């Protein structure tokens, strides 16, 4: 049935000798530009536990141990993207320590995920409502990873709830 299409192909690959991982590796080696550091996209997702855990997360971190700016009236209507809220959250030693440890863990893990051929990595950061702490941490970690030359995006699932 595919005879006509096969005639148009520049390359025919006999996939019967590969498992799914070997095939992905073969295709990546064959077609990825030599300068590609990584084609893995890392998504940092903030969320609120009260709305449930994101089902597509590969790694999940609970940041509810950090001081909650929601209990400070001037921060309640703001989010973790606001500079004064971010400054408040960052002002605690445990925030700095957590960010450093997570960054170190990811620096260790990501090359292994890339070597295994993982194309996407979704890292979830959760707090109670998903508006303050998780947002600030997701922004911070995403910025850190982008600074290391990795493809990143950030998504705040519950920021407007």
Q: What is the pLDDT of residues 103-146, one digit of tens each?
A: 999 999 999 998 888 889 999 999 999 999 999 999 999 999 99
d(C-alpha 47, C-alpha 62), whole Å: 10
Q: What confidence tens digit (pLDDT) does each residue in 52-81 have?
A: 999 999 999 999 999 999 999 999 999 999
Largest CA distance in the chain: 69
Give the model's pLDDT for residue 21.
Answer: 75
d(C-alpha 156, C-alpha 129), whole Å: 11
Instruction: Specify the length of the chain in residues.
Output: 161
Give the model's pLDDT for residue 13.
Answer: 83
Q: Which range, 28-32, 34-38, 149-153, is most confident?
A: 149-153
Half-sphere exposure of 132 (CA within 13 A, CB side): 24
d(C-alpha 12, C-alpha 15), whole Å: 9
Calculate the alpha carbon distances from 20 to 17, 69, 109, 135 in Å: 10, 46, 22, 36
Q: Give ∠ CA 78-81-86 in degrees, rounded to 5.
A: 90
Q: What confidence tens digit (pLDDT) does each residue in 31-49 have?
A: 765 545 557 899 999 999 9
Q: DSSP 3-state assignment of 67?
A: coil
Give the model's pLDDT for residue 9.
Answer: 82
pLDDT level of residue 15 (50, 70, 90 thresholds) = confident
Give the model's pLDDT for residue 107.
Answer: 92
- How would DSSP label each residue in 102-156? HHHHHHHHHHHHHHTT--EEEEEEEESSSSSHHHHHHHHHHHHHHHTT-EEEEEE
């Amino acid at each position: 049935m595919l005879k006509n299409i096969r005639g148009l192909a520049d390359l025919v690959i006999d996939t019967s000798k590969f498992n799914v991982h070997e095939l992905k590796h073969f295709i990546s080696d064959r077609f990825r530009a030599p300068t590609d550091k990584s084609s893995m996209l890392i998504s940092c997702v903030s969320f609120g536990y009260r709305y449930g855990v994101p089902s597509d997360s590969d790694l999940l971190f609970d940041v509810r141990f950090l001081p909650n700016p929601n209990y400070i009236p001037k921060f309640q209507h703001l989010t973790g993207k606001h500079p004064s809220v971010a400054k408040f959250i960052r002002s605690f030693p445990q925030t700095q320590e957590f960010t450093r440890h997570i960054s170190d863990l990811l620096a260790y893990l990501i090359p292994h995920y890339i070597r295994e051929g993982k194309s996407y990595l979704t890292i979830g950061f959760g707090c109670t409502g998903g508006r303050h702490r998780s947002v600030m941490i997701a922004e911070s970690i995403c910025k850190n990873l982008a600074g290391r030359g990795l493809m990143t995006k950030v998504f705040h699932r519950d920021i407007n709830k």
